[in-house]
Structure 1
Amino acid sequence: MGETVVEQSELAGRTALVTGAGQGIGEAVTRALVARGARVAAVDATPDGIEKLAAEFGADVVAHYAADVSDGKAVEAVVDDVERTFGPLDILVNVAGVLRTSPVVDISDEDWERTFAVNSTGVFNASRAAARRMSERRGGCIVTVGSNAAGVPRTSMAAYAASKAAATMFTKCLGLELARSGVRCNVVSPGSTDTAMQRSLWSDEQAPARVIDGDPAAYRVGIPLGRIADPSDVADAVLFLVSDRARHITMHDLYVDGGATLRA
């Protein structure tokens, strides 16, 4: 019984900011942080999802932060407001992301630029704003939700994979720079996860089975554990990395993909 109480309150009194909090993995991370006692500033480009979370959780989720993470000034203003209103930011989780699929020869300039603007520059904007403050206080945690596609080539996913690879290496470099200040920076790299983004890739009801079984024509192995991840699986990994249980872990890339990459 005692251990359960500790788990439920392990983040009590801490302030977290989650980007892309309105749906999918971002929503699951927000719920997980609140369940462990944190107050969450929920950021998303559209307000609907984060407003629903605020209505459900009351003062534990603050949802008046509809912001595009690709806008550095907007992100800086959000972090300023969070710290002014709720106190020092202890945790940042970068989840906001977009997926636009296309063979490389057909990628439009707009799709390439938007993918990097959100998936890479968005991570830079939020992490820089948080890191400036955390390093001065000599403490804090930053977790970037990347993708296993950052480490294994995928057909028709060059923009997404490259942007996630950039975000992953950026987070590791930031972790190295901030290590002496006690700020930890890590990456969680999901594989196929049951989100709206994943479902946008499915053309028929057999698509989930093909994801699990693999697709030799696309040079893609299946998922050895035989299941598509739930967003909560990814959120649990984030929870561990921002907790004191991971106090000696930084610059780590934790794959949560059921073995799909064979950890290549």
Structure 2
Amino acid sequence: MSTERDLAGRLALVTGAARGIGAAVVEVLAERGARVLATDVDAPAAEALAVRYGDRVVARALDVTDATAVEDAVAEAERTLGPLDIVVNVAGILRGASVVELDDADWAAVFAVNTDGVFHVSRAAARRMTSRGRGSIVTVASNAAGVPRSGMAAYAASKAAAVMFTKCLGLEVARHGVRCNTVSPGSTLTDMQRALWERSPGGAEAGRRAVLDGDPDAYRTGIPLGRIAEPVDVAHAVAFLVSDRARHITLHDLYVDGGATLRA
């Protein structure tokens, strides 16, 4: 089956769409024929993305931590753009610190976006998709959800919760023809990744090499493929899972990490 326009006629909502993986997801879905509602707390950046694609991409401001705002945004989208066929949860934040130094505000903020946000958006979409008997929801999580990471307890725990939530939702809605899957990237060339490298004791280049080669002091393996993912690598995995080529795949967690976790 050709993938050139395999999503033509479908409407997708993407959160965290202004940059990084979210922006790449918007671009790939639009290129494959979908009309995309690109949402982000950074409305100007989302608007700039929409300008490049004309009427194929519509931008809206959205704070996924606000359940009422999410419900209103989904309702408005269905009223003005049409029924949602695809939802991709990408919005996420990282607050790094050892557990003993992690404060309550940072823990709560990470869960508010990475877990509560996935719940708010997925619930609002699933309510509508189940009544129509079709739909696909994909949550972009992290390989940190399955492998412990030093200094990333809040992030890893929030992503693990998002993965299990998405699987539980998928189990409940499968009988209604709605599929729910997760994509779990490893290190990817995003602003979040670059910020981690810049905080490395040896500087950004040392941080990048530690990701590629591994870091025994952090009990972390390297990347067997010898490269760091680009956002489009993750976006193509998302596009596969929301397409008819994956019509018999649900409750699946697809790792896109170059083998970094050894699929532990």
TM-score per shorter chain, which class?
over 0.9
Query: Which of 149, 152, 161 lines up with 2:147 in the alignment?
Result: 152
* Residue segments in structure 2 that go unaligned for 5+ positions in a row: none
How much identity, in percent, do the aligned residues show?
A: 67
SS at match of 1:201: helix
TM-score (norm 1): 0.97
Structural mapping, 1:143-182, within 5 Å: 143-182=138-177
Query: Which of 91, 105, 109 lines up with 1:96 in the alignment?
Result: 91
Query: Which of 47, 57, 62 lines up with 2:53 in the alignment?
Result: 57
1:259 to 2:242 alignment? no
SS at match of 2:12: strand
TM-superposed deviation, 1:206: 2.6
1:189 to 2:184 alignment? yes
Structural mapping, 1:201-240, within 5 Å: 201-203=196-198, 204=203, 205-240=205-240
TM-superposed deviation, 1:54: 1.2
In structure 2, the residue matched to 1:11 is 7
SS at match of 1:144: strand
In structure 2, the residue matched to 1:243 is 243
Determine the C-alpha separation between the residues in 2 that align with 1:151 and 1:45. Answer: 28
Query: Which of 41, 62, 67 lines up with 2:62 in the alignment?
Result: 67
Question: What letter matches 1:45 in structure 2?
Answer: V
Determine the C-alpha separation between the residues in 2 that align with 1:210 and 1:103. Answer: 19
In structure 2, the residue matched to 1:48 is 44
TM-superposed deviation, 1:159: 0.1
* Residue segments in structure 1 that go unaligned for 5+ positions in a row: none
Determine the C-alpha separation between the residues in 2 that align with 1:77 and 1:250. Answer: 27
TM-superposed deviation, 1:165: 0.2
What is the Cα-based RMSD across aligned positions, in Å? 0.7
TM-superposition CA deviations, 1:166-186 (whole Å, max 9, x none)? 000000000000000000000
SS at match of 1:7: coil
SS at match of 1:12: coil
